[in-house]
Chain A
Amino acid sequence: MDARPLTEPTFLVLAALADRPRHGYGVIGEVEELSGGRVTLRVGTLYGVLDRLVAEGRVEPDREEVHAGRVRRYHRLTAAGRQALEAELARQESNARAVRARLAVRPA
């Protein structure tokens, strides 16, 4: 599996799918909420990320539902996707801890 850090859109899409399967519009809304309104994914960006994550086996189709006469396709995280997300979280937490420790030392 790729050990490189995840890009922010990839990280946020995986995070948006962490608790339950979501459809495209749901992922966009969840990413906006997770980022506190800072990141609004464009549709092309979202499906570029989803396409890559599906090809890498980190996300998979879950189910289809009809809403207002239109089919919504839901996607969910795979075990590999969850593992990638946890690895990224661990990396970010480790960095944050290290930087916090430096900030705690007040310059003389």
Chain B
Amino acid sequence: MSPLEQRYRRLLTWLPEPARSRWADDMTGTWLEATTTDDPEYAEFGSPSLADRLDVARLALRLRLGAPGASVRAVATGRTVRLVAVAGTLALASMALVGLVSRAWLHGLLPLVDAPELGPVGWGPWDAVATLVSGLTVTLGVCALRGLAATRPLALVVLATLVVEAVTTVGGPGALLTLLTQLTVAVPVVAAALAPTGPPVHRRWWPVWLGLLLVAPWVVGATLVTLLPAGPADGLLALGDQFVQLGIALVATAVVLLARRRPERGAAELATAVLAVALLPALASRLPYDTPAGYAPTVLAVTVGVLLAAAATGAVGTRALRALPADVPA
């Protein structure tokens, strides 16, 4: 075996089984033919190019996330990533929608609703950027729900805006707290960029998803304002925070998933665990604020609940995933 062949075979160890067994000999042979036909000496001193390495890395990622021909375990992993992408981006879309409506309200753009009496509200370039990013985030959530091919490029665009925002934030006041929140936001967006394309979420579930994630914040907010007009207790005020709401929703999801006896465990539990772990930085960013006395204990209680939910669903999900065969095609 020539040194070049050894290097190519080492590169192919990135591929998961059973694809590696199926294609390693063929791929190595094709590479060697392509690179040494015109230059036999290349077999001694040559090595895989950067483009070859990136190409194999991309193939390995696709196969590990359940591309056709991948193993049963890889398909379940891909389903987990897709669930994180769909549920996570919809939650972000919900927050972005609240941001968009709030901004419209502040500028007196909402019909039938008067703007708050805060005096003249300015409209700078950052407002325009924030509005654009909110619009993109809402679109990303809808694309992920419908399994559209635009999901991946859109996720990359949103991710790029997050990176730009992070870079411009560093060094400024409250940078750490902003970065913690961005860490939470980045997880579902990265999942959306990596998730394998698949069929859209079944239409009969759309009202449930959209209801929970797009309407629930308004219902909670309106309830708080209506029932507690004279200034709600500090602890209840924290329930208006959308990250706290998301934490409560994740704890409820974990309880339902763990209580139900389903034959197919794994993807849903692991996705819940990933989202719960991802939420922790954002919840942590809520604690140091100069908030009313009861605010922080509520956030802390929800954080503990989210931690427990992550541990329980993570353990069940990982065990179920590990029980699936890693070398049998789906």
Contact = CB atoms under 8 A, between A and B. Distances in A.
Interface in A32-75: 42-48, 50-52, 54-56, 70-73
B68 interface: yes
Report the contact-size class of chain A (Cβ under 8 Å from the partner): 20 to 34
Given A44-B55, A45-B59, A51 B23 contact: yes
B68 A24 contact: no
A77 interface: no
Given A42-B52, A45-B59, A71-B25, A51 B19 contact: yes
Nearest to B31: A43
20 contacts: A23-B26, A24-B26, A24-B29, A24-B33, A28-B30, A28-B34, A43-B52, A43-B55, A44-B27, A44-B52, A44-B55, A44-B59, A47-B26, A47-B27, A48-B59, A51-B19, A51-B22, A54-B69, A70-B29, A73-B26
Report the contact-size class of chain B (Cβ under 8 Å from the partner): 20 to 34
Contact of A55 (B55, B59, B68): B68
Nearest to A24: B30
Contacts of B248: none
A39 to B, nearest CB: 14
B227 interface: no
A47 B23 contact: yes
Interface in B1-54: 19, 22-23, 25-27, 29-34, 51-52
A106 to B, nearest CB: 34
A43 B22 CA distance: 14
A55 B328 CA distance: 13
B20 to A, nearest CB: 11
B329 A47 contact: no
Contacts of B58: 44, 48
B107 interface: no
Closest 4 CB pairs of A and B: A44-B55, A24-B30, A55-B69, A55-B68
Contacts of A43: 27, 30-31, 34, 52, 55
Interface of A: 23-25, 28, 42-48, 50-52, 54-56, 70-73
A43 B23 CA distance: 11
A55 B34 CA distance: 26
A96 B22 CA distance: 39
Given A25-B34, A47-B30, 8 more contacts: A23-B30, A25-B30, A42-B51, A44-B56, A47-B23, A48-B59, A51-B23, A70-B33
Contacts of B26: 23-24, 47, 73
B25 A46 contact: no
A70 B31 CA distance: 12
Residue from A43, A56, A72, A73 having most chain B Cβ neighbours under 10 A = A43
Contacts of B68: 51-52, 55-56
Given A52-B68, A55-B68, A70-B32, A24 B62 contact: no
A52 B30 contact: no
B67 interface: yes
A50 B69 CA distance: 10
Nearest to B49: A42
A43 B51 CA distance: 10
Given A43-B34, A51-B19, A72 B29 contact: yes
A51 B51 contact: no
Contacts of B29: 24-25, 70-72
Nearest to B29: A70
A72 B26 CA distance: 7
A42 B58 CA distance: 12
Nearest to A45: B55
Contacts of B62: 48
